[in-house]
């Protein structure tokens, strides 16, 4: 939620900020703005509603004066999408940008009588006014005093009058990374905006005050004692965060899935079997828990649903899957015998982070499946299994989901081996099947024509239903979410057998039903459910394994996945669903990479 960039150094800052904002735009694109400390000490502020391109268009006319500045791309929380609500906010001698939510901003307005200084509806401007209230020429003191008053989450980058060659930063929960490079010092919400300048960076520790100078960065802990940052290195390059000839990031990322899965599973195999010793997790760890608690949001949570459907029947331990925003305020029945698995692409989702903390406080061990190195969730978990998908820029998660599934397969296999359920031969067969999924995905990607036929029907639909049983139901949840978020077609996933308990009332002539029947054990049952919707004249798009025998008249369009083992149909099936969502969005003329109202990294509640 919201993207932040700051730079101070020898180069002209304007284009560095605008380029950085373009890289961060997936974090929010309601409006964008920059503040530049000009060489005469004055501060130039420009802001515009809409995408960064709108801001760029007006900034292009401005001169390049200024070597220190901050920029922000907004995902609106407090106050509408208007120019006054756009960051940076300036109150008196303080100019700042903010990612997060100040929860007690009403109280602060009252306590410090700030009302008359405010021109926007934002919580951020209140923080600017509070800093200005405390500022008497010592920026660090003003920040320390202000932060003591603030409740909520924040990542601030601040320019203070009188110190316009440097940027002051502090954060709580909301992410902030920084990098000191020969070409100047940078701070940003995430590494995508920094990687052009350096592969080395550090995560700003919470409540540490950071000051960016042209040639170095100072960091101080809560007691004002100088701290050494822990330098990390990204293992991908600038090209990974670009479109590389694809028209959209989403399509590029869909195509990157075979490679991402290989990169995620291969380093974790020893003699053809899963091994997590590299991550500091020994076999004993997988023997001891009695139940698994998966917690995540959105697509990551749906990956957990598939994880449950894979692990439970093999490992025979109960797996519960919880929505993090619900779990964090619940009274969970977990303890030291529970393994909590938190799943997150960004590693910054605030609800998942809070759920992780709650699970730990109950004594549960926490294993994170995370894509972004050094992220908050990765740092706070007991163990981390990084997925190696590289940067995922499109707001709709695609490759992150399939690498999360791959890790669940590895975990299922490992648990089965250490608990004596699989012998080594069975384990290797399981891993071979996982590799077969990679070829199957490549096969699906080569045959897009049939998917385009499905899109012909979906593009004008108002509603669509995704149905399946067992594992198929788990995939269908992700399929429905994907269609909703990028094409704005209202889509719901239902357990196929549940339809007749209410939802079937919604089925009418021509309504698209994407039906999955890849599971032999429930194949006939699912086909009966499909007949029920077909009898009500739904338009049925059926997905089965290649060798399935399809009864006459049961569907209007038939798509297949080239996989034989039921447990492994998910990965290629999901790619079909992603492509259906992608092409439906394109056919409807929508911005597939930046769907309305969304942001990539959800760092507010």
Query: Which CB atom, from 197 or from 473, has the smaller least distance to ligand AGP?
Result: 473
Binding mask 328-367 for ligand AGP (x = CB under 6 A): ----------------xxx--x--x---------------
Query: Which CB atom, from 145 or from 484, has the smaller least distance to ligand AGP?
Result: 484
Using the structure block, give the residue that is written with the tokens 């698995």.
Answer: 341
Rounded Cα distance, 428 and 75, in Å: 46
Rounded Cα distance, 249 and 268, in Å: 28
Query: Which CB atom, from 395 or from 410, has the smaller least distance to ligand AGP?
Result: 395
Query: Which CB atom, from 479 or from 572, has the smaller least distance to ligand AGP?
Result: 479
Q: Cα separations (Å) of 415 from 409, 412, 470?
A: 10, 5, 21
Binding mask 544-583 for ligand AGP (x = CB under 6 A): ----------------------------------------
Q: Which residues of 489-524 are buried (b: 16+ CB within 10 A; e: fewer)?
A: bebbbbbbbebeeeebeebeeebbbbbbbbbeebbe
Query: Which CB atom, from 34 or from 602, has the smaller least distance to ligand AGP?
Result: 602
User: Shortest approach of ligand AGP to residue 400 CB, angstroms?
Assistant: 6
Q: Check: CB of residue 198 under 8 Å from CB of residue 217.
A: no
By CB under 6 A, how many residues form the interface with ligand AGP?
15
25 binds ligand AGP (CB under 6 A): no
Rounded Cα distance, 450 and 546, in Å: 14
Sign of CA dihedral 23, 25, 26, 27: positive
Query: Which CB atom, from 260 or from 396, has the smaller least distance to ligand AGP?
Result: 396
User: Shortest approach of ligand AGP to residue 493 CB, angstroms?
Assistant: 14
Q: What is the footprint of ligand AGP within residues 120-149 (CB under 6 A)?
A: none
User: Shortest approach of ligand AGP to residue 463 CB, angstroms?
Assistant: 20
* Annotated catalytic residue, options 2, 68, 275, 415: 2
Which single residue brings its beta carbon nearest to ligand AGP? 298
Q: What is the footprint of ligand AGP within residues 263-302 (CB under 6 A)?
A: 297-300
Query: Which CB atom, from 530 or from 581, has the smaller least distance to ligand AGP?
Result: 581
Give 113's contacts (C-beta < 8 A, 6+ positions apart). Answer: none
Residue 600 designated active-site: yes
User: Shortest approach of ligand AGP to residue 340 CB, angstroms?
Assistant: 15
Residue 270 designated active-site: no
Rounded Cα distance, 539 and 458, in Å: 10
Residue 599 tokens read as: 């942001």
User: Shortest approach of ligand AGP to residue 3 CB, angstroms?
Assistant: 14
User: Shortest approach of ligand AGP to residue 297 CB, angstroms?
Assistant: 4
Binding mask 297-316 for ligand AGP (x = CB under 6 A): xxxx----------------
Which one among 123, 125, 190, 485 touches ligand AGP, defined by CB under 6 A? 485
Query: Which CB atom, from 122 or from 601, has the smaller least distance to ligand AGP?
Result: 601
| Element of type H or E holding 257 | helix 257-265
SS in 3 state form for 453-518? Answer: HHHHHHCCCCEEEEEECCHHHHHHHHHHHHHHHHHCCEEEEEEHHHHHHCHHHHCCCCCEEEEEEC
63: Cα separation from own chain's centroid = 36
* Annotated catalytic residue, options 14, 252, 545, 600: 600
Binding mask 381-400 for ligand AGP (x = CB under 6 A): --------------xxx---
User: Shortest approach of ligand AGP to residue 249 CB, angstroms?
Assistant: 12
Rounded Cα distance, 267 and 277, in Å: 11
User: Shortest approach of ligand AGP to residue 195 CB, angstroms?
Assistant: 19
Rounded Cα distance, 254 and 519, in Å: 24
Rounded Cα distance, 8 and 164, in Å: 9
Residues identified as active-site: 2, 600
Residues near ligand AGP, by CB under 6 A: 297-300, 344-346, 349, 352, 395-397, 485, 601-602
């Amino acid at each position: 939620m919201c993207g932040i960039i700051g730079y101070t150094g020898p180069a002209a800052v304007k284009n560095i900020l605008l380029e950085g904002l373009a890289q961060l735009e997936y974090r929010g694109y309601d409006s964008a703005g920059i503040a530049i400390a000009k060489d005469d000490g004055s501060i130039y502020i420009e802001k515009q509603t809409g995408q960064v391109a709108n801001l760029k268009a007006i900034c292009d006319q401005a001169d390049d004066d200024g070597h220190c500045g901050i920029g922000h791309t907004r995902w609106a929380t407090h106050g509408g999408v208007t120019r006054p609500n756009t960051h940076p906010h300036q109150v008196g001698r303080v100019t700042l940008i903010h990612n997060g939510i100040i929860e007690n901003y009403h109280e602060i307005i009252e306590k410090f009588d700030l009302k008359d200084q405010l021109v926007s509806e934002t919580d951020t401007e209140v923080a600017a006014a509070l800093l200005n209230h405390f500022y008497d020429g010592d920026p660090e003191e003003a920040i320390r005093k202000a932060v003591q008053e603030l409740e909520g989450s924040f990542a601030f980058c601040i320019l203070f009058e009188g110190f316009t060659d440097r940027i002051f930063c502090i954060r709580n929960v909301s992410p902030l990374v920084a990098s000191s490079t020969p070409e100047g010092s940078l701070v940003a919400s995430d590494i995508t905006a920094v990687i052009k300048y350096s592969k080395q960076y550090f995560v700003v520790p919470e409540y540490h005050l950071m000051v960016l100078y042209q040639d170095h960065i100072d960091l101080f802990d809560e007691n004002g004692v100088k701290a050494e940052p822990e330098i990390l290195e990204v293992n991908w390059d600038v090209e990974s965060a670009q479109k590389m000839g694809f028209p959209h990031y989403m399509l590029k990322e869909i195509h990157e899935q075979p490679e991402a899965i290989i990169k995620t599973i291969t380093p974790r195999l020893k003699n053809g079997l899963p091994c997590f010793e590299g991550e500091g997790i020994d076999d004993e760890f997988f023997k001891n828990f009695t139940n698994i608690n998966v917690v995540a949001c959105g697509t990551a949570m749906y990956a957990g649903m598939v994880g449950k459907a894979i692990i439970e029947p093999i490992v025979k331990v109960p797996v519960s899957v919880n929505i993090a925003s619900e779990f964090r305020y619940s009274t969970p029945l977990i303890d030291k015998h529970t393994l909590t698995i938190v799943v997150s692409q960004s590693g910054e989702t605030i609800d998942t982070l809070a759920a992780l903390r709650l699970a730990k406080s109950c004594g549960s061990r926490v294993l994170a499946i995370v894509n972004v190195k050094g992220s908050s969730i990765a740092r706070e978990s007991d163990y981390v299994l990084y997925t190696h998908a590289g940067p995922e820029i499109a707001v709709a998660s695609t490759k992150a989901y399939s690498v999360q599934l791959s890790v669940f397969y590895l975990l299922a296999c490992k648990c089965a081996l250490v608990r004596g359920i699989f012998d080594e031969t069975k384990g290797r067969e399981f891993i071979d099947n996982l590799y077969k999924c990679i070829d199957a995905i490549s096969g699906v990607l080569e045959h897009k024509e049939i998917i385009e036929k499905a899109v012909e029907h979906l593009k004008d639909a108002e509603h669509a239903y995704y149905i399946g049983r067992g594992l198929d139901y788990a995939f269908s949840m992700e399929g429905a979410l994907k269609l909703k978020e990028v094409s704005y077609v209202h889509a719901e996933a239902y357990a196929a057998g549940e339809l007749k308990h209410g939802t079937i009332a919604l089925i009418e002539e021509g309504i698209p039903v994407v039906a999955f029947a890849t599971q032999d054990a429930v194949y006939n049952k699912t086909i009966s459910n499909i007949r029920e919707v077909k009898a009500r004249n739904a338009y049925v798009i059926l997905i089965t394994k290649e060798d399935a025998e399809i009864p006459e008249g049961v569907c209007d369009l038939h798509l297949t996945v080239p996989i034989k083992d039921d447990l492994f149909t998910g990965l290629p099936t999901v790619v079909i669903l992603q492509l259906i969502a992608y092409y439906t969005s394109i056919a409807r003329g929508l911005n597939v990479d930046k769907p309305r109202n969304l942001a990539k990294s959800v760092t507010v509640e």
